[in-house]
Amino acid sequence: MTTKFTKDHEWVRVEGDTATVGITKHAAEQLGDVVFVELPDVGNSFTQGDDMAVVESVKAASDVYAPVSGEIIEGNGSIVDAPETVNDGPEEGGWFVKMKLSNPSELDELMDEAAYKEHAANS
Amino acid sequence: MSGMGMTSEDSRGRKAGRARCLWETRVSDLKQLPLDGLHRELGGKMVPFAGYDMPVQYPMGVKEEHLWTREKAGLFDVSHMGQAVLSVEGGSHEDVAALIEEIVPGEIRKLGHGRIRYTLLMADDGGVLDDLMITRLPKEVGHAGDLVLVVNAACKDADYAYIEKQLGGRATLSVKDRCLLALQGPKAHEVIAELDPEASTMPFMSARVTQLAGANVMLSRCGYTGEDGYEISVANKDADALARKLLAHDDVAPIGLGARDSLRLEAGLCLYGHDMTPETSPVGANLTFALGKRRREEGGFAGAERVLRELNNGCGEIRVGIKPSGRAPAREGTEVKLEDGTTIGRVTSGGFGPTVGGPVAMGYVQRQHAEEGGTVHLDIRGKLHPAEIVRLPFIEPRYYRGPSK
């Protein structure tokens, strides 16, 4: 199981051909209190970099981009019902969607945890 | 994801159009508040707003700061706002009031000593240039005719130039470089009373000149949150000590611009530049309460022709409260539509109301669709979300109305 990160502050955790996607702890802290989440429908497909979900905090609305290409196989209903779950555990219970990877080689372009930490500290 | 950091373009060079914040402005030549050091010491996250480096939030976070202010007392530094005194050499109150009444539609002549009025700075075409507070100095101060004006930070230079242009030669406008602190919330009166016992029975919209913790201040019972509270005008040199004295109280926490915005939105109060622009008239902005009764009859202020006409005939679109029925916040710029997709208006302020516990908004809709209880639709990311036209404010204001009997 590997976790990769995008420069736009999404994380993606891969098990087999399934990827769990969310926003990073750094992103959640920057957003502040999350008050609304809009997730894509199961069955929709996205290309890496597409607008995939929306997260709104008390401050602003932000798009969440697809960190990799693939089809949505599950959405995390608990963050829709209780958006604060994203702040409580952005990299655990606050995950956004699970995707079936269509191009696993895209993972190679993403950052590992150490590289992301450095990126986040400078962004 | 978009909207991280202060740039309006993300790393792919795309416009992150949805990541608008009220505090995103140009980052250049930022002025520092006299209390800048204190804000940083308190962990304030500083952002550019109206040309100033301002705390948007403290470590407590916007939502908790909002709720704290509704339950206890929040301290806001609003020193970016403009404070100025309008006077006529040797003139009486009537002299100064008659002059300012040329450019504001409020009843200023009959304003009593130590009383405050909310009014509007008017352009000749009936548009609103700013909203402002005008205070007639308390009797004990002397300077019989002087009026204190408090105007919006983003408008202050333009306001001063306009007032000079309209009244120059007949009145003197002197800009005061002072701090303005606001203590807002149900505990504010207890906190202030520990420093000035007489403050707790001051009427809403009144001012007194007094001392707080050794500092000479003008204390005004007013605010921008829908709560009871005070604004404190204090010399820059005394502001830090006074702010620290207030913050030392268990019920007081520092509150940033983020919560200030959600508090005023729930209270149904306009933010100039968003809910009002130079194109907006007082009637369209639904601020007819700010037009004095005599002024409506007599006119005699800049833009009176349009204002009196609209008072009689109504105007095309009007500011209303909009309560989204679902959970999606409708931000500024969201189009208000009918179910068939016809655009009938737009959101001018919108977001999440922590006290309401859901999304709240205000905006302008065509008069025939402005009736309370009516259903409208908000175009959020291309999908129509139902919402209701509601009476403002979203919360019950708790302004002080006098000692309980």
Q: What is the ipTM of this complex?
A: 0.84
| The pair of three-digit structure tokens given for residue B368, joined into one six-digit string | 């025939």
Asked whether residue B142 is domain-assigned, the answer is no
The reply to whether B186 and B72 lie within a common domain is yes
Give the amino acid at B380.
I
The reply to whether B182 and B46 lie within a common domain is yes
Taking alpha carbons only, the member of B353, B381, B376 closest to residue B363 is B376
Compute the average pLDDT of residues B26-49. 90
The reply to whether B224 and B350 lie within a common domain is no
Q: Which of A5, A8, A23, A35 is the best mutation test for B, with the most CBs of B within 10 A?
A: A35
The fraction of chain B above a pLDDT of 70, given in percent, is 93
Interchain CB distance below 8 Å, A62 and B329: no
**Residue B77 pLDDT greater than 50, yes or no:** yes
Compute the average pLDDT of residues B20-29. 50
The reply to whether B260 and B184 lie within a common domain is yes
The reply to whether B255 and B381 lie within a common domain is no
Q: Any idea what the CATH number is for the domain that residue B250 is in? A: 3.30.1360.120
What is the Rg, in whole angstroms, of the alpha carbon atoms belonging to chain A?
13
Q: What is the pLDDT of residues B200-242, one digit of tens each?
A: 999 999 999 999 999 999 999 999 999 999 999 999 999 999 9
Compute the average pLDDT of residues B66-82. 98
Compute the average pLDDT of residues A39-52. 97
Least CB–CB distance from B1: residue in A9, A32, A58: A9
Q: How far is B23 from A63, CA to CA, in rounded Å?
A: 19
Predicted pLDDT of residue B28: 61
Q: How far is B202 from B232, CA to CA, in rounded Å?
A: 14
The fraction of chain B above a pLDDT of 90, given in percent, is 88
Predicted pLDDT of residue B179: 98
**Residue B21 pLDDT greater than 70, yes or no:** no
Asked whether residue B232 is domain-assigned, the answer is yes
Q: Which of A54, A58, A95, A96 is the best mutation test for B, with the most CBs of B within 10 A?
A: A58
The reply to whether B185 and B59 lie within a common domain is yes
Q: Any idea what the CATH number is for the domain that residue B359 is in? A: 2.40.30.110
**Residue A16 pLDDT greater than 70, yes or no:** yes
Compute the average pLDDT of residues B271-296. 96
Asked whether residue B187 is domain-assigned, the answer is yes
Quote the mean pLDDT of chain B.
Answer: 92
Least CB–CB distance from A60: residue in B21, B66, B359: B21
Compute the average pLDDT of residues A17-37. 95
- Weakest mean pLDDT among A68-72, B7-11, B151-155: B7-11
Segments of B104-259 assigned E as strands: 116-122, 128-136, 147-151, 172-175, 178-184, 207-212, 215-220, 229-235, 252-254
The reply to whether B202 and B58 lie within a common domain is yes
Strand order in the sheet with B45-49: B31-32, B52-57, B45-49
Asked whether residue B353 is domain-assigned, the answer is yes
Q: Give the residue on A whose Cα is nearest the Cα of B330.
A: A61
The reply to whether B73 and B203 lie within a common domain is yes
**Residue A59 pLDDT greater than 50, yes or no:** yes
Asked whether residue B67 is domain-assigned, the answer is yes
Residue range(s) defining the domain that contains residue B65: 31-79+178-266
- What is the phi-psi region of residue A6: left when phi exceeds 0, alpha when psi lies from -120 to 50, beta otherwise? beta
Strand order in the sheet with B229-235: B207-212, B215-220, B229-235, B178-184, B73-77, B252-254
Last residue of a domain, one of B240, B266, B292: B266
Asked whether residue B122 is domain-assigned, the answer is no
Interchain CB distance below 8 Å, A32 and B61: yes
Which band of pLDDT confidence, cut at 50, 70 and 90, is reported for residue A112? very high
| The pair of three-digit structure tokens given for residue B260, joined into one six-digit string | 């200030």
Domains and CATH numbers, chain A: 2-103 (2.40.50.100)
Residues of A in contact with B19 (CB under 8 A): 60-63
B8–A contact, CB cutoff 8 A: no
- What is the phi-psi region of residue B392: left when phi exceeds 0, alpha when psi lies from -120 to 50, beta otherwise? beta
The reply to whether B233 and B346 lie within a common domain is no
Contact B206, B115 (CB under 8 A): yes
**Residue A60 pLDDT greater than 60, yes or no:** yes
Compute the average pLDDT of residues A117-121. 94
Taking alpha carbons only, the member of B55, B73, B32, B67 closest to residue B357 is B67
Residues 6+ apart with CB under 8 A from B336: B322, B343, B344, B345, B346, B347, B363, B365, B376, B377, B378, B379, B387
Strand order in the sheet with A70-75: A2-5, A10-15, A18-23, A97-101, A70-75, A45-46
The SS3 of residue A59 is coil
Give the amino acid at B29.
D
| CA geometry: angle B3, B7, B12, nearest 5 deg | 75
Give the amino acid at B78.
V
**Residue B16 pLDDT greater than 50, yes or no:** no
The reply to whether B70 and B187 lie within a common domain is yes
How would you class A44 by CB atoms within 10 Å of its CB: exposed for 0-12, middle for 13-18, buried for 19 or more? middle
**Residue A27 pLDDT greater than 60, yes or no:** yes
Which band of pLDDT confidence, cut at 50, 70 and 90, is reported for residue B1? confident
Interchain CB distance below 8 Å, B258 and A54: no
Helix axes B257-266, B62-71, angle to 10 degrees: 60
**Residue A76 pLDDT greater than 70, yes or no:** yes
Distance from CA of A17 to the nearest CA of B (A): 23
The reply to whether B261 and B339 lie within a common domain is no
The reply to whether B190 and B254 lie within a common domain is yes
- Weakest mean pLDDT among B27-36, B202-211, B289-298, B369-378: B27-36
Q: How many domains does chain B have?
A: 2
Residues of B in contact with A38 (CB under 8 A): 328, 381
| The pair of three-digit structure tokens given for residue B212, joined into one six-digit string | 């707080």
Contact B228, B267 (CB under 8 A): no
Asked whether residue B284 is domain-assigned, the answer is no
Kindly list the distances between the CA atom of residue B116 and the CA atoms of B68, B205, B290, B294, in Å, as whole numbers in the listed order: 27, 5, 12, 18
Give the amino acid at A76.
N
Asked whether residue B111 is domain-assigned, the answer is no
Which band of pLDDT confidence, cut at 50, 70 and 90, is reported for residue B10? very low
Interchain CB distance below 8 Å, A8 and B1: yes
**Residue A67 pLDDT greater than 80, yes or no:** yes
**Residue B115 pLDDT greater than 60, yes or no:** yes
Predicted pLDDT of residue B25: 45
